[in-house]
Amino acid sequence: MNHNKFVATFFIIAGIMILADVYFYFGIKSKLSRKWRITYLIVSALTISFMIFSTVAYLNGYKLPPFLRIYVFGITFCINISKILGCIWLLIDDLRRLFKFAKAKITSDKVALEGGIPRKKFLQLGALGTFGVLFSTFIYGIVRGGYNYSIHTVSLKLKNLPKNFEGLKIVQISDMHVGSFLSSDPLEDAFKMIAELNPDVVFFTGDLVNDITEEALPHQEVLKKLKAKHGVYSILGNHDYGDYVYNDSMPDYLEKKAHNKTLMQQVHREAGWDLLLNEHRELVIGDQKISIIGIENWGSGRFAKYGDMKKAMASVDPDTVKLLLSHDPSHWDAQVRPFHPEVDVSFAGHTHGMQFGIETKFFRFSPVQWRYDQWAGLYEKGHQQIYVNRGLGFVGYPGRVGISPEITLITLERA
């Protein structure tokens, strides 16, 4: 996103939030005691001031301390989203009152016009209840959800899998977003869980950081602990290019992006990972082999398209099983399925399952499914498959509700 677009987006979002704040206050104020009204106004003044302050700091290239940038920003976001959704009840009430007012005007109902049309108490309580339930759920997700790693076990059936690869254990993780970690401890906990799975191969499918590569430097020693018998293969995600910090309002932004990428390559190399930038590797066991292809970020819509499948697939042995690492799952329907039927399985991340949703044995939902057809788990179309990992870290909202951070254990099987 360029500088002007970012500023315009900020003003639109800030405008909606401030309007919702004022509208929510006037809608529920008759239900609040004087003490609670003053509390509401103080919290609103603080959240609006913080949003403006953090955006001005961001636009001027100043990075706030992690606790402010991650948790104060996150809680501010939770308060505002809860208010916006609470406003739906008030909007229903105001439409009802508008309709009654218009009817009183037409019928010249003086009693209704002079006495006013009062709010429905249950709709006001609905607004307050929605705010309360959502806000406490979001806070619970921050306290308990962010590091509640869960292991998803998947059997991946492949028709032409060589015998030596039968039972191969691949651990996939994605979207670490280490810029959201106040310490390396949660990362170390996740890597311990991975080590206990004794993986043959690890795939890391991008978004190591939130904004810039420097965020990874304090975690460098712990990143080295992500290991596997036949190696760790990694790719970049949309957050790994510095695109959200270095924009065309800065005269030297191209140099800064180039530095960001060079440093990112160094971080992967020092961690002992094999970073695949539109290229492939052959994994050989005994006298048999499969191909692991990794492309740079390619996302549909507004997301950057650095990925180059032609380059990545060049010289791949056509007789091998082909496993593709591609951060954004929208790449599968856009490029892989139509133009690369030779790819057997894609491994993606990026959606985070929106860090919010419901998953049970029989039913699952996340708002992110309105944006991505493949948003979590294994999908199959024709002879091709894609696995979308829900992500290990978080970005924006500093927690998770209903969609746990994921470590995937994939076992290859011959179909």
Contact positions toward Fe ion, by CB under 5 A?
Answer: 175, 207, 237-238, 350
Q: Rounded distance, CA 194 to CA 151, Å?
A: 9
Closest distance to Fe ion from the beta carbon of 204 (Å): 12
Closest distance to Fe ion from the beta carbon of 332 (Å): 14
Residue 328 or 344: the one with the smaller Cβ distance to Fe ion is 328
Token pair of 306 as six digits = 């650095």
Residue 83 or 219: the one with the smaller Cβ distance to Fe ion is 219
For residue 92, which phi and psi values (nearest 5 degrees)? Answer: -60, -45
Closest distance to Fe ion from the beta carbon of 327 (Å): 6
Q: Which residue type is seen at 247? A: N
Residue 168 or 212: the one with the smaller Cβ distance to Fe ion is 212
- Those residues whose C-beta lies under 8 Å from the C-beta of residue 261, and which sit 6 or more positions away, are 213, 241, 242
Residue 58 or 303: the one with the smaller Cβ distance to Fe ion is 303
Kind and range of the H or E run holding 305: none
Token pair of 170 as six digits = 């691949």
Q: Rounded distance, CA 11 to CA 31, Å?
A: 31
Residue 321 or 401: the one with the smaller Cβ distance to Fe ion is 401
Q: End-to-end CA distance of the chain, in Å?
A: 44
Q: Rounded distance, CA 217 to CA 178, Å?
A: 10
Residue 280 or 331: the one with the smaller Cβ distance to Fe ion is 331
Closest distance to Fe ion from the beta carbon of 249 (Å): 23
Residue 238 or 366: the one with the smaller Cβ distance to Fe ion is 238
Q: Pairing relation of β-strands 273-275 and 232-234?
A: parallel
Q: Rounded distance, CA 91 to CA 203, Å?
A: 47
Q: 93: helix, coil or strand?
A: helix
For residue 232, which phi and psi values (nearest 5 degrees)? Answer: -110, 125
Matching residue, tokens 């998803």: 152
What string of DSSP letters covers 101-140? HHHHHHTT-HHHHHH--PPPHHHHHHHHHHHHHHHHHHHH
Q: 233: helix, coil or strand?
A: strand
Residue 150 or 198: the one with the smaller Cβ distance to Fe ion is 150
Matching residue, tokens 């593709």: 324
Closest distance to Fe ion from the beta carbon of 251 (Å): 28
Q: Pairing relation of β-strands 345-348 and 384-388?
A: parallel
Q: Rounded distance, CA 385 to CA 374, Å?
A: 11
Residue 44 or 210: the one with the smaller Cβ distance to Fe ion is 210
Closest distance to Fe ion from the beta carbon of 274 (Å): 20
Closest distance to Fe ion from the beta carbon of 95 (Å): 38
Closest distance to Fe ion from the beta carbon of 223 (Å): 17
Closest distance to Fe ion from the beta carbon of 213 (Å): 15
Token pair of 5 as six digits = 């677009």
